[in-house]
Structure 1
Amino acid sequence: MMLTLKKGHRFFYLAIVILFFVLLYPFLYFFSRKAPRFKTLNHVRRFYSFISSIAAGFFFRYRVVSPIDWSKTYIVCANHTSNLDIPAITLAVKSNFAFMGKDDLLTNPLLKIFFETIDIPLNRDSKISAFRAFKRGEEYLKQGMSLVIFPEGKIGDDYPPVLHEFKNGPFRLAIEQKIPIIPVSMTNMWTKMWDDGSKYGTRPGICDICIHQPVDTSGLNPEDADDLKENVYKIISSELR
């Protein structure tokens, strides 16, 4: 009975997401056409994330370890267990930003508009694709635009979720560009929606997110990338226990 209710709630959430996407599509389309409009596109994306989550009963509760100066540029790294991670991060980042994610999202009917324009698709199995993605990310950072990257590169098959090994790319990029990293711990998102909710359904409730103090990279060299990766891994995992 409980699983049936959770499955029903998932379909309700999908209906809400599609409804608001349709209503906001003219604005999303207009502001996605040219790069100078991307900042406004992110404002519309935040509103979309907020209204669709609230309407479905998902409430994001943020704990900020140390105040964040959002006038600066960051690489935001978070663990990834749920599709809800995307609206949660969208609402958390208060500056202009772009996601970097797998190129499969280019076929997602709701996310395609973002990954064809503002966001950066990445095929990790292709060295050329990875090179182009991180070069574009580098250009964004130089323009003062923050990046959001899920360093696990996937939502794992484990249930309950475990924190998988991080990819090296975000940490090399942070060191090369001297950009601080903001670790983010999604502590209980998976209990409301694991992955896309297709297997266990979804349920409304409060989703807790911990935004950690930025990790400075200004004094690091490329050979320090593994240590930086391990440090960020430990920070994120510390809240997951």
Structure 2
Amino acid sequence: MRFFKYIFWILYRVWFYILVALPIIVLMPILIVSILKESWYPFFFKLARFWAKFILIGMGFNIKIQREQIPELSKSYMFVANHTSMTDIMLMLVAVKNPFVFVGKKELAKIPLFGFFYKRTSILVDRSNPKSRQAVYLRVQKRLKQGLSICIFPEGGVPDESVILDEFKDGAFRMAINHGIPIVPLTFADNKKRFSYTFFSGGPGQMRVKIHRFIKTEDLNIKDTQLLKENTHNLIFNELQIFDKNPKATLSAE
């Protein structure tokens, strides 16, 4: 019986990469055109949302979304969530309809096919380089002026699977305060169970996400970064514990 589980997990992982690559290959000409000008990014974002939903549904994930508050399309936000899986990027794209730009580590740009578009549409950061962090701030400022939002996974990476939620870095919260945009916390309840970085694990099933009420920043200053970070961390951590105690609890479907 264990042998067949290993076979399933191998095929399941291979299937994931097929689903990642297939829409990119089919839509390659349109995707390339959509990234030629920054002003065309909202169109690229719509294609990215289709790509993400195609993958999640193809993997057998039943997406459930609960929204305590709905972002306005005319405003900019800082979207943050816990990071446990390769599917976090896809789920964020499906859960959020506002065009946003990812801020992420530069290593993701090395992934074949995906990395080509990721490098040209996201804001890459080298956390070991102070000049890189300054450049990120300026690029975020430019994107916000274009009416876009920003998305950061504030743990700064994927923690060990025994860790419920790692400590948050300051970047997302410092930028949100500096630009006066609300924090929108999201809790991803099942991504670790469905498709973690452990190769022999995962499977189809419910994939729940909760979009919490926004946290305002316009009355805060840079000295409030730590408190804002801790409040957001506690909110997501507590929600993860609630989901953990109710693994079969359902949310409204997308």
TM-score by length of 2: 0.89
RMSD: 1.4
Q: Could you say which residue in structure 1 is the equivalent of 2:206?
A: 206
Code of the residue aligned with 1:228 in structure 2: it is L
Match of 2:145 among 142, 145, 150: 142
Q: CA deviation at 1:69?
A: 2.2
Distance 1:114 1:123 in 2: 18
Given that residues 9 and 201 in structure 1 are in contact (C-alpha distance below 8 angstroms), is that contact kept between their aligned partners in structure 2?
A: no
**Is structure 2 residue 31 aligned with structure 1 residue 28?**
yes
Do 1:186 and 1:210's aligned partners in 2 also have CA atoms closer than 8 Å?
A: yes
- 2:120 aligned counterpart, secondary structure: coil
Give the deviation of 1:113 after TM superposition: 2.7
Residues 1:12 and 1:37: Cα distance change in structure 2 (over 3 Å): same
- Select 1:173's aligned residue among 162, 172, 175: 175
The C-alpha deviation readout for 1:81-126, integer Å capped at 9, x for no partner, is: 0011101001122122110000001111133233332210101011
What is the rounded CA distance, in whole Å, between the counterparts of 2:164 and 2:113 in structure 1? 27
Query: Cα–Cα, structure 1 residues 202 and 18, in superposed 2: closer, same or farther, change >3 Å?
Result: farther
Which residue of the partner structure matches residue 87 of structure 1?
Answer: 90
Does residue 154 of structure 1 match 2:181?
no
Equivalents in 2 of 1:172, 1:165: separation in Å? 15
Counterpart Cα distance in 2 of 1:227 and 1:78: 17
User: Is the Cα–Cα contact under 8 Å of residues 172 and 222 in structure 1 kept in the other structure?
Assistant: yes
Structure 2: gaps spanning 5 or more residues? 242-254
2:42 pairs with 1:19: no
Given the alignment of the two structures, is residue 106 of structure 1 paired with residue 109 of structure 2, yes or no? yes
Matching residue's letter, 2:97: K
Q: Which residue of 1 aligns with 2:195?
A: 193
Residue 60 in structure 1 maps to residue 60 in structure 2: no
Residues 58 and 206, structure 1, Cα contact 8 Å, conserved in 2: yes
Look up the match of 1:70. Answer: 73
> What is the deviation of 1:32?
1.0
Q: Is 1:120 aligned to 2:123, yes or no?
A: yes
Task: Report the residue type matching 1:127 in the other structure.
Answer: P
In 2, Cα distance between equivalents of 1:110 and 1:93: 23
Residue ranges of structure 1 left out of the alignment (5+ in a row) = none
Stretch deviating more after TM superposition (111-120 or 209-218):
111-120
Which AA in structure 1 matches 2:90? Answer: P
Q: CA deviation at 1:50?
A: 1.0
Q: C-alpha distance in 2, partners of 1:232/1:33? A: 36
- Determine if contact 1:32/1:113 at 8 Å carries over to the other structure: no
d(CA) in 2 for partners of 1:127, 1:72: 29
Structure-1-length-normalised TM-score: 0.94
Partner of 1:164: 166
Instruction: Tell me the CA shift for residue 67 of structure 1.
Output: 3.0
Structure 2 CA distance for aligned equivalents of residues 89 and 81 of structure 1: 12
Contact 2:86 2:196 in 1 (8 A): yes
Query: Within 5 A, what are the aligned runs for 1:212-227?
Result: 212-227=212-227
